Structure 1
Amino acid sequence: MTAVSPEPAVTYTDPAAAVGERVTDLLARMTREEKLAQLGSAWAFSLMEGGRFSAERARTVLRHGLGHVTRVAGATSLRAEQVARVTNEIQRFLVTETRLGIPAIVHEEVCSGLMAREATILPQAIGVASTWEPELNRLLADAVRARMRAMGSHQGLSPVLDVVRDPRWGRTEETYGEDPYLVARMGVAFIRGLQGASLAEGVVATAKHFVGYGASEGGLNWAPAHLPPRLLREVYLHPFEAAVREAGLQSVMAGYHELDGIPCHANRELLGDVLRGEWGFAGTVVSDYFAVDDLHSYHHFAQDKRRAAALALTAGTDVELPATDAYAEALAGALDAGEISEGRLDEAVSRVLRHKFELGLFENPYVDEAAVTVAVNTERHREVALEVARRSLVLLKNDGVLPLRPGTGTVALIGPNADSARHLLGDYSFAAHVESLLEARERKGLLGQTMTVPDDLKIEESTDGVPTVRDELTARLGDRVRYAHGCDVIDTSRDGFDEAVAAAAAADVAVLVLGDRSGLTTRATTGESRDRSSLELPGVQEDLVRAVVATGTPVVAVLVAGRPVGGDFLHEKCAAVLLAWLPGQTGAQAITEVLLGEVNPSGKLPISYPRTVGQIPVFYGHKVSGGRSHWHGDYVDSPVSPRYPFGHGLGYAPFVIEQVALDRIEVIAGDSVAVEATVANVGDRAGEEVVQLYIRDPQATVTRPVLELKSFARVAAGPGQRTAVRFDLPTGQLGFYDRDMNYSVETGLIEVYVGFSSDIRTLAGTFTITGDSGRPKVRKAYSGTVTVGEPPQATTSPA
């Protein structure tokens, strides 16, 4: 009798095998068609019909497998349990109906929380940055992670690590502001929260847009960025480098734009030499939506789709989103023609497979549909959203009218954003994106691509449960609130002016809630591709301000906006100005609490606030020769200083810095300096303040900025209470790229400042970096440590 040989072990299905071994085994079994499928993607609605999974459609779309499914939650109108069901059905088809049974990664947009029908809508990133509290951002991302995993999603297209210094750019609201250090700290915290302790329970974070996307020519979306190498390294690459080296970032999205003539999706120096070579990035690079074909159709950098595919994959763009296009027949043709190697194809596929193994998809491709609602603690998400919203509000100006006292009489509540839930939401909220998909149904689709949008897509309930400022203020003040719409955000009708003026004239105080409508459609005034040539309020809102101020009633302006906005008259004549950004689902509650003094405002500007577009760029970290101190100083018709400086933000409890000192005046390169400050609340109520540490290097061999943020700490103190803050500042954080473009920490003098904004600061002292030579070898550091506690008690000698 002949013995039957056992079937050889299938390594890739063995959970005990090492991930690398599983990837190698699976890759060796794949056909070229199956490999190409792993580099592609498909819209969720292309696999559905009538709101349900369609096996018939799947047999065409998924026949060789799939890399990514695009937005099961964010591109449909499905509820959470329906999202889980459709996701399970897609995965079940892949596991049971394709040859190798490879599950897909489901990615979603998470710029203001998970973009889904029932998800908690969080404050937009520019508001999160205004908290100056990275730990809050980590908690926010952790809440997003929990919801995504429960619904069957595995990759989030966030954080946005673009440094932005031109608020004309519509996507300013999606960023963490103008400073590379602040952007890095917020980004690192978000990535740690989203990815978790390991990808087995985490979600792949996708930092975008690599790199310099927010420095576009004219503030226009998709426009070229003109960034010399040192500026690119020190400012725009810095947050991404910190994300890779500190947070273990697992995915990067390339930018739509070009740098020095090379579109980012085809830039092998950036994606290969810097990202992978220098930083050791081992994750996936995904395309921005439709951007591979854009190398041909938009940039005219490639003569056809086949060449575009070859250029993108050669440069290091691993995955094409949101739907397979150039990475299908066109890429196959490039491989046949020898324009790209099979080895490069295998590298990209290996990276995608590695993520799928690390995410645990082969062992756990499905989620518990019955437990989705229970598994997602929406109350916890709302609590996080509210805490972020409260601390994101920036009180720009206050002549004493705020907080509104209990004895305040009638309040006239006026303006286009006073009674709108929709206008509190950012451009990557569910409501905004469903609007853009519906618009795509009526015309040539998003980003110039033809799309098939499902007929059952609808916005219903997208703002259900989102209270307005009118709701919240009326709930507290009752019939003391007199509401008048005044005008719309963008329309030019003044029909509501008379009612608004009458309400203001009869009131003790007028609260004007003004600003933007965020989104991607032509009705939006801020958001992706909604760039502006003016920073005055859109429509006739500036005229509404003039009309209401003319009544003589004290006016509080609340700006619900995606960028710094408002003209001279508003900021000079209103008694108080509160910047709310786009505060999300709980924003109206936070705004009302601050207006009434239930919460002390403590947000700080993460971006300098221009007076006019004629000043742009205006940012705090300019060079000494940056025109702010030339012969006459100011412009002929305007100051050169911003309206409000970076780091600015008032509160109802005044704080002072009582003392500050360095622990040494000399430090060996590679060591740290301790900066110790005592901060006191000199007001009569509890409050919070953000203590900011800046440095200046006046002796460098390359010109340096006049100030550089290097650390910060949020402190809370009761009336009369003192708080000690200790910053440990590593010298490795004080380097720069020298004339040979090497990161160097030079010997010499460093000035240290501590304050409450880039303008209000105290010289803490100076210290000298010493070493064996002018440029001692010091490893680059991205941050130091901060300790906040009680100051030591003063001691007295016995009499």
Structure 2
Amino acid sequence: MAGTNTAGSAPTLMPTRRDLFGLLGSVSITGLIPGVAYAATASPTYRDPRAPVDLRVRDLMARMTLEEKVGQTISLWATKADVMMPGGLDFDPARATAAYPAGFGQVTRPSDKRGGPSVAVTAGGTGAAWRGTASTIAFVNAVQRWARGTRLGIPVIFHEESLHGYMAPDATMFPQAIGMAGSFDRDLMRRGQAIIGREVRAHGSHLSLSPVVDIARDPRWGRIEETFGEDPYLCGEMGVAAVEGLQGDSTTLAPGKVFATLKHMTGHGQPQAGNNIGPAPIGERELRESFFPPFRSVVTRTGIGAVMPSYNEIDGVPSHANHWLLGKVLRGEWGFSGAIVSDYGAIEELDTIHDVARDLNGAAKLALAAGVDSALPDGLAYRTLPAQVRAGTVPIAQVDAACARMLALKFHAGLFEESSVDPRAAARLTGNAEARGVALEAARKSMCLLTNDGTLPLAPKGKIAVIGPNAAIARLGGYSAPPRQAVSLLDGVRALVGGAATIVHAQGVFITQSEDRSQDAVLLADPAKNRALIAEAVEVARGAGTIILAIGDTEQTSREGFSANHLGDRTTLDLIGEQNALFDALHALGKPIVIAAINGRPPSWPGVIAKANAVLECWYPGQEGGTAMAEALFGRINPGAKLPVTVVREVGQVPFYYNRKPSTQRGYLFAETAPLFPFGHGLSYTRFEVSAPRLSAAKIGIAGSVGVEVDVANIGQRAGDEVVQLYVRDQVSSVARPVMELKGFERVTLAPGERRTLRFTLGPDAFALWDVDMREVVEPGLFTIMAGPSSAQLKSAILEIA
């Protein structure tokens, strides 16, 4: 961001994003570019790959009927049934022509069998009935052949879910997003997302519905695992890296790249009562200070292809009907010119949930006026648009704008020039050795050591008991699919130890009765059966020298609650079912117990954590997680991740986040005020020393920047990683400001005795606030610059801005 003009004035936003979509807010033809040779007029301009995209869009739209324009705004998911062979999964060109004579613009998740025989229209999961690579690509190629043969030959764009891996069989599954955030490693995020994008593109899709940069402030919310945590700066940095990995840096998609979709804008991560899609009780200043920044960062620093609004309402206005949010802020202030695509069914929910529309007609009218360009997953509401335009209740200009942006996305994706997809190449590129190696690196770097009394690292000797409901299963988390291979903790321990120790195993308890996350009802396991399993586990552990206990969540107990009959949010945060009882029974044996926490929600387990000898937070560590967990427990690697969230002691502390206002967290009767673990916390098998920050100047102007140097030294006996974190506090301001805000971080690997100096630059954006008149300004005064290994262990220096 550029500096300010005068003291207390608003910083001038200087976007650095690569504008992929031109000035498509208008549909007027801008004309030819002088000096560029175009194809002969006998061939339509829109078919000329050398012509500017802006011109190609306008040329094509001038030839389109109203129905064809609306067709570009809808997608098919359950309605894939309309275009498939009766009773089968193959694409049927004749049925497609009959059902969609004006064509359709998009297909939702070609990798699943939705719309096929005996496939329920429910959430994805183990019951989603995926296609394989060959079937997916055959379907994609058949749809595109049909589309090329339609009147104008407009190709279809396919989209897939790819939160932490392409959600299709055999694809590479990385650690869940919250674990990747804990790595504090931008480059790792970029490389992992590049692999995800490559696998998605190899199967014929050009649009991925990720990353998620929601600010997560309520651990009751079942989708917290999908986020990068609670901090705006961290979420923005990881979001930028994810988009760079998926899309690359070209103005058009290079081979192996896909457009990213930034979601969910916004307030989604602090819903009322922790209920998914609940109202976000957030004012404009809080939006601009905390919830907008990661979205703004991605939009202004990358060429992000699409943005998805959130399900929730803000101050009574649902995001999918919020023109201020999508038009004034996203497009007007930040300069976004890409496509805005709806969350699944969210336009229809303007009628069915929010009651701001009387019917689908009204819902479509509201969403289109707000700037939503594409209706996912089935476009039910937008199918009413041709009649509404003819009736004069919806302006054709709004349809034109939406169509233009969807067409621009396709031109920039190269879809008009692309040939068919090769299933053999897809098979080679999916889940291969390179991808598996990066997934393992990601799992290793997401391991976060929360507590350790010296029990870790373990020695591979004697008898070691590996017990618990998450020991023998590779838990991947939401939005995942069965990878080509997956390693459980038990697998990893056995492979690492080999014959050096005896490994014994017991289930301990089951958490739920089913492992199918697509199942609507969630039933806890039978307590009586679990009591018998606990007794069995105690006997197995009795002869062991050490116990590794794998506990936490399942894909059912922490998940997206997308409807009243498919819940995922909770009123309690402690271990669910009989897991506490299992721990107590094992603890009574008097043997060292090491916890491997495998979970989506932060581990607010005060009883277990107080008694355990060590706790390793693993999150959902991806397909290679078992190997990484074993390596961390036995010291083959040194855990170096940090917490991207504050971990509360109990649910009554919620919401609790480190970048709080000064008047909060005064305390409670009969309870501790401090969290169980602070944001940025994470231990190591070695020791680090982080210096106080040194400033390049003690005083700077309002438009100035300051350099900050921080020394970090490994003063222990092992090589290891430290994440140096840089925070800022405005000491006195015209509006209340957080007690600290993260403004920089760097993860470094140091050998024993090694010292390194890290250098940061803090510009006006690090000091800006939104004043009483809602202007973004830098105010003169004193600022505390802090550095350390966590938000609770900081050294400081003072900077004056005048």
User: Shift of the alpha carbon at 1:467?
Assistant: 1.9
Aligned with residue 618 of structure 2, among 570, 580, 584: 580
Q: Which residue of 1 aligns with 2:587?
A: 549
Q: Which residue of 1 aligns with 2:84?
A: 48
Look up the SS of the partner of 1:240 in the other structure: helix
Matched, 1:380 2:434: yes
User: Shift of the alpha carbon at 1:30?
Assistant: 0.5
User: Shift of the alpha carbon at 1:80?
Assistant: 2.1
Q: How many pairs were matched up? A: 719
User: Shift of the alpha carbon at 1:464?
Assistant: 5.4
Matched, 1:29 2:63: yes
Look up the SS of the partner of 2:690 in the other structure: strand
**Alpha-carbon separation, structure 1, partners of 2:42 and 2:691:** 74
Q: Which residue of 1 aligns with 2:545?
A: 508
Unmatched segments (≥5 aa) in structure 2: 1-39, 114-128, 513-524, 562-566
**Alpha-carbon separation, structure 1, partners of 2:675 and 2:244:** 34
User: Shift of the alpha carbon at 1:340?
Assistant: 1.6
**How is 1:275-354 mapped onto 2 (pairs within 5 angstroms)?**
275-328=330-383, 330-354=384-408
Matched, 1:426 2:477: yes
Q: Which residue of 1 aligns with 2:502?
A: 480
1:173 corresponds to which letter in structure 2?
E
Q: Which residue of 2 aligns with 1:604?
A: 642
Any idea what the Cα deviations from partners look like across 1:534-590, whole Å, max 9, x if unmatched?
A: 111111111111111111011111111001134322010000011111111011111
Matched, 1:261 2:316: yes
Look up the SS of the partner of 1:726 in the other structure: strand
Q: Which residue of 1 aligns with 2:23?
A: none
Look up the SS of the partner of 1:385 in the other structure: helix
**Alpha-carbon separation, structure 2, partners of 1:627 and 1:149:** 47
Q: Which residue of 1 aligns with 2:449?
A: 395
| CA distance 1:365–1:38, change in 2 (3 Å) | farther
Structure with the larger RCO, 1 or 2 (CA within 8 Å, 6+ apart): 2
Aligned with residue 145 of structure 2, among 87, 92, 101: 92
**How is 1:383-782 mapped onto 2 (pairs within 5 angstroms)?**
383-406=437-460, 408-421=461-474, 424-430=475-481, 462=482, 465-478=485-498, 480-490=502-512, 491=525, 492=527, 493-518=530-555, 523-528=556-561, 529-628=567-666, 634-658=667-691, 660-763=693-796, 765-770=797-802
Look up the SS of the partner of 2:178 in the other structure: helix
User: Shift of the alpha carbon at 1:90?
Assistant: 0.7
Any idea what the Cα deviations from partners look like across 1:306-338, whole Å, max 9, x if unmatched?
A: 01110110111110001121111x222322232
**Alpha-carbon separation, structure 1, partners of 2:104 and 2:237:** 34
**Alpha-carbon separation, structure 1, partners of 2:418 and 2:439:** 30
**Alpha-carbon separation, structure 2, partners of 1:261 and 1:333:** 29
**Alpha-carbon separation, structure 2, partners of 1:539 and 1:254:** 35
User: Shift of the alpha carbon at 1:84?
Assistant: 1.9
Q: Which residue of 1 aligns with 2:8?
A: none
Look up the SS of the partner of 1:750 in the other structure: strand
| CA distance 1:637–1:197, change in 2 (3 Å) | same
Tell whether the 8 Å contact from 1:35 to 1:349 is kept in structure 2 after alignment. yes
User: Shift of the alpha carbon at 1:18?
Assistant: 1.2
**Alpha-carbon separation, structure 2, partners of 1:660 and 1:317:** 45
Matched, 1:236 2:291: yes
User: Shift of the alpha carbon at 1:480?
Assistant: 1.0
| CA distance 1:261–1:749, change in 2 (3 Å) | same
Deviates further, 9-18 or 531-540: 9-18
Aligned with residue 208 of structure 2, among 156, 161, 164: 156
**Alpha-carbon separation, structure 2, partners of 1:244 and 1:262:** 23
Look up the SS of the partner of 2:69 in the other structure: helix
Tell whether the 8 Å contact from 1:604 to 1:649 is kept in structure 2 after alignment. yes
Tell whether the 8 Å contact from 1:669 to 1:732 is kept in structure 2 after alignment. no
**Alpha-carbon separation, structure 1, partners of 2:385 and 2:43:** 33
Look up the SS of the partner of 1:29 in the other structure: coil
**Alpha-carbon separation, structure 2, partners of 1:475 and 1:324:** 49
Deviates further, 180-189 or 331-340: 331-340
| CA distance 1:315–1:385, change in 2 (3 Å) | same
User: Shift of the alpha carbon at 1:66?
Assistant: 1.5
Q: Which residue of 2 aligns with 1:450?
A: none
Look up the SS of the partner of 2:62 in the other structure: helix
Tell whether the 8 Å contact from 1:70 to 1:107 is kept in structure 2 after alignment. yes
Q: Which residue of 2 aligns with 1:39?
A: 73
Matched, 1:117 2:154: no
Tell whether the 8 Å contact from 1:505 to 1:552 is kept in structure 2 after alignment. no
1:90 corresponds to which letter in structure 2?
V
Look up the SS of the partner of 1:754 in the other structure: strand
Matched, 1:130 2:168: no
**Alpha-carbon separation, structure 1, partners of 2:95 and 2:608:** 55
**Alpha-carbon separation, structure 2, partners of 1:527 and 1:297:** 19
Matched, 1:103 2:142: no
Q: Which residue of 2 aligns with 1:19?
A: 53
User: Shift of the alpha carbon at 1:699?
Assistant: 1.6
**Alpha-carbon separation, structure 1, partners of 2:668 and 2:539:** 39
Look up the SS of the partner of 2:609 in the other structure: helix
Q: What is the TM-score normalised by the length of structure 2?
A: 0.88
Aligned with residue 190 of structure 1, among 242, 249, 254: 242
Look up the SS of the partner of 2:600 in the other structure: coil
Tell whether the 8 Å contact from 2:172 to 2:435 is kept in structure 1 after alignment. yes
Deviates further, 205-214 or 469-478: 469-478
User: Shift of the alpha carbon at 1:671?
Assistant: 2.0
Tell whether the 8 Å contact from 2:97 to 2:103 is kept in structure 1 after alignment. no
User: Shift of the alpha carbon at 1:258?
Assistant: 0.6
User: Shift of the alpha carbon at 1:155?
Assistant: 0.4
Deviates further, 526-535 or 242-251: 526-535
Tell whether the 8 Å contact from 2:170 to 2:431 is kept in structure 1 after alignment. no
**Alpha-carbon separation, structure 1, partners of 2:183 and 2:60:** 46
Q: Which residue of 2 aligns with 1:371?
A: 425
Tell whether the 8 Å contact from 1:105 to 1:155 is kept in structure 2 after alignment. yes
User: Shift of the alpha carbon at 1:144?
Assistant: 1.3
Q: Which residue of 1 aligns with 2:18?
A: none
1:599 corresponds to which letter in structure 2?
I
Look up the SS of the partner of 2:173 in the other structure: coil
Any idea what the Cα deviations from partners look like across 1:629-649, whole Å, max 9, x if unmatched?
A: xxxxx3112111110000000
**Alpha-carbon separation, structure 2, partners of 1:185 and 1:658:** 24
| CA distance 1:413–1:527, change in 2 (3 Å) | farther
User: Shift of the alpha carbon at 1:746?
Assistant: 1.0
User: Shift of the alpha carbon at 1:741?
Assistant: 0.5
Matched, 1:358 2:412: yes
Q: Which residue of 1 aligns with 2:228?
A: 176
Matched, 1:215 2:276: no
Unmatched segments (≥5 aa) in structure 1: 1-5, 431-461, 629-633, 771-799
Q: Which residue of 1 aligns with 2:29?
A: none
1:625 corresponds to which letter in structure 2?
S
Tell whether the 8 Å contact from 1:416 to 1:513 is kept in structure 2 after alignment. yes
2:464 corresponds to which letter in structure 1?
V
**Alpha-carbon separation, structure 2, partners of 1:100 and 1:357:** 14
